Amino acid sequence: MTYGLEFVQKPLGVDIRGWRKILLYGPPGTGKTLLASATSNHLDATFYSVRLDSLLSKWFGESSKIVHALFESAASHAPSVVFIDELDSVAGKRGGEQSSADLRLVNTFLTELDGFKDKDEDPFVLIMAATNRPWDLDDAIISRFEKRIAVPLPDLEARKGIIDIHLKKTGFQNKVSLDALGQMTKGYSGRELDQIIRGLVMNIVTEMNPDLADLADLGPQALSKEMLQLRPIKLPDWAGVLERTPAKTTQEVMNRLKDWGGK
């Protein structure tokens, strides 16, 4: 069985292998975790999703044991995808304000990364990591990743698709065209679009049902019997929530990500 681009045809002198260590970088909320999960599903692999800082322990040496156990488990349950989220939370540039526990954890992580040598007999373990601030990563960490992949903010067509998906989930009728909404939401991440639509729905429910809070105090049975009054989502609803909820990713951050990726 082959995974990704990995295949070997030694009689023909061809030895082409896919990347085993991939760094995903980009603004928050752009779907880096979802991309790693989808990769795991595509490979029919065991999926491990962790944050390095969650592996820190107050007991000396315990964090290193946990990291070692993670990769050992991934190898024994191969094919596996190990996803490290928010890599920069611990693996920042060494020599800064890191604690000794942080440094031990990073050193163990580096050792485990070096342990997968892409030999024929090695179990298939794909290591993916994500960061919103790649420039904060230690050079030793960056050098271990064979491939860097930028995960940008959604473009116009992607925003329209994301909005359409989340609107259909709500069941609300929308009176504004997707083309217009795509233009209005330039610069927003997929996560922010989801949150905006949730806010729209709650605003309308609250507006059309002013006594809802009082009913909620009576308990779930009373609330379930209540017929909610609803209305379609209109342009002023969108304009209002977007004005109150500006996109969080600045152009300065986007330029910095672009510059880092071009190095």
In the chain, what percentage of residues exceed pLDDT 70?
Answer: 81
Q: What is the pLDDT of residue 127?
A: 93
pLDDT(5) > 50: no
Q: What is the mean pLDDT of residues 127-153?
A: 92
Least confident stretch, 16-25, 207-216, 241-250: 207-216
149 φψ region: left (φ > 0), alpha (ψ -120 to 50), beta (else) = beta
- pLDDT: which is higher, 234 or 116: 234
Nearest-angstrom CA–CA distance, 111 and 163: 43
CATH number 1.20.1090.10 given to 156-246: no
Look-up of token digits 């009576």: 218
Q: Where exactly are the structural domains of the chain?
A: 7-150, 156-246
CATH topology of domain 7-150: Rossmann fold (3.40.50)
Exposure class string for 66-76: b at 16+ Cβ within 10 A, else e: bbeebbeebbe
In the chain, what percentage of residues exceed pLDDT 90?
Answer: 55
User: Based on the number of CB atoms within 10 Å of its own CB, is 121 exposed (0-12), middle (13-18) or buried (19 or more)?
Assistant: exposed
The pLDDT tens digits for 91-123 are 666 555 556 666 777 788 888 888 765 555 578
Confidence band of 263 (pLDDT split at 50, 70, 90): low
Q: What is the pLDDT of residue 115?
A: 75
Asked if residue 105 lies in contact with residue 60, where contact means CB atoms within 8 angstroms, the answer is: no
Q: What is the pLDDT of residue 55?
A: 73
Cα 202-192-195 angle, rounded to 5 deg: 15
Crossing angle (nearest 10°) for helices 156-170 and 190-208:
40
Asked if residue 145 lies in contact with residue 126, where contact means CB atoms within 8 angstroms, the answer is: no
Asked if residue 67 lies in contact with residue 105, where contact means CB atoms within 8 angstroms, the answer is: yes
pLDDT(10) > 70: no
Amino acid at 20: R
